[in-house]
C-alpha cells in the first residue's frame, strides 16, 4: 500500500422508501407497496414495516429498505445518482428535497396533498399512494477491534487447522 492510497471510507448505501398508502388493512397496503416496487423496478429488502397511522388522514406507512445490490457501478457514486436510479421509472413525479453538502446522504419527498394544483395530477405508480419519502445514507465501515494477522501468521494458522482436522 502506498502512502497516497486511501481506503474507501464506506462500504455501501442504505436506501429507505416510505410509502403512505390509503388501504383498508395491512395486507392490502403491502400488496399495493409490492405493485409500486414492481413498477419502480426496485427490490425491497426483507420484512418491510407496515404501521397504521391514525393522523388527520388515516393511512398505512410501508417502510422498506431497498436492495440496490444489482446496481452496477455508478458514477458519481453519491446519494443524488442513487436517488435518480430509484425514481427512474416514475416519469412526471416530482420529489422535493436534496442531498447533503457532502452528497453522502439525502432526503426526497413526494407530498402531493401539501402542494398546489400542479401536483394534483401526479400519481406515484398507484392511486392509493398518498405520499412517499426516500432517504439515502452512506453506511460506514465498522472498525475491526482486532488487526488482521500478518500473512505469515495467517498461513501458519491455516496449516494448524488442516493438521488438527479443523479446516
Range of the domain at 152: 10-163
Residue 29 within any structural domain of the chain? yes
For the cut 70, the answer to whether the pLDDT of residue 155 exceeds it is: no
Encode pLDDT of 91-139 as tens digits.
Answer: 888 899 998 888 889 999 998 865 554 545 678 889 999 999 999 999 8
Residue 5 within any structural domain of the chain? no
How far, in Å, CA of 73 to CA of 14, rounded?
16
Show Cβ contacts of residue 86 under 8 Å, excluding neighbours closer than 6 positions: 15, 17, 40, 42, 66, 68, 134, 136
How far, in Å, CA of 103 to CA of 40, rounded?
23
**Band of pLDDT at residue 141, cut at 50, 70 and 90:** low
Residue 148 within any structural domain of the chain? yes
For the cut 70, the answer to whether the pLDDT of residue 33 exceeds it is: yes
* Domains contained in the chain, number: 1
pLDDT at position 140, please?
77
The whole-model pTM stands at: 0.74
Amino acid at each position: 500500500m502506498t502512502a497516497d492510497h486511501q481506503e474507501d471510507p464506506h462500504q455501501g448505501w442504505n436506501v429507505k422508501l416510505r410509502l403512505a398508502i390509503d388501504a383498508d388493512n395491512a395486507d392490502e397496503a403491502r400488496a399495493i407497496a409490492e405493485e409500486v416496487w414492481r413498477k419502480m423496478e426496485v427490490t425491497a429488502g426483507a420484512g418491510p414495516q407496515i404501521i397504521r397511522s391514525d393522523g388527520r388522514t388515516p393511512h398505512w406507512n410501508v417502510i422498506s429498505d431497498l436492495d440496490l445490490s444489482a446496481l452496477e457501478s455508478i458514477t458519481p457514486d453519491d446519494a443524488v445518482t442513487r436517488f435518480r436510479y430509484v425514481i427512474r421509472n416514475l416519469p412526471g413525479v416530482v420529489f422535493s428535497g436534496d442531498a447533503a453538502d457532502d452528497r453522502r446522504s439525502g432526503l426526497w419527498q413526494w407530498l402531493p396533498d401539501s402542494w398546489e394544483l400542479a401536483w394534483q395530477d401526479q400519481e406515484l405508480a398507484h392511486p392509493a399512494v398518498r405520499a412517499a419519502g426516500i432517504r439515502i445514507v452512506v453506511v460506514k465501515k465498522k472498525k475491526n477491534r482486532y488487526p488482521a494477522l500478518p500473512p505469515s501468521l495467517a498461513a501458519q494458522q491455516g496449516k494448524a487447522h488442516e493438521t488438527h482436522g479443523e479446516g
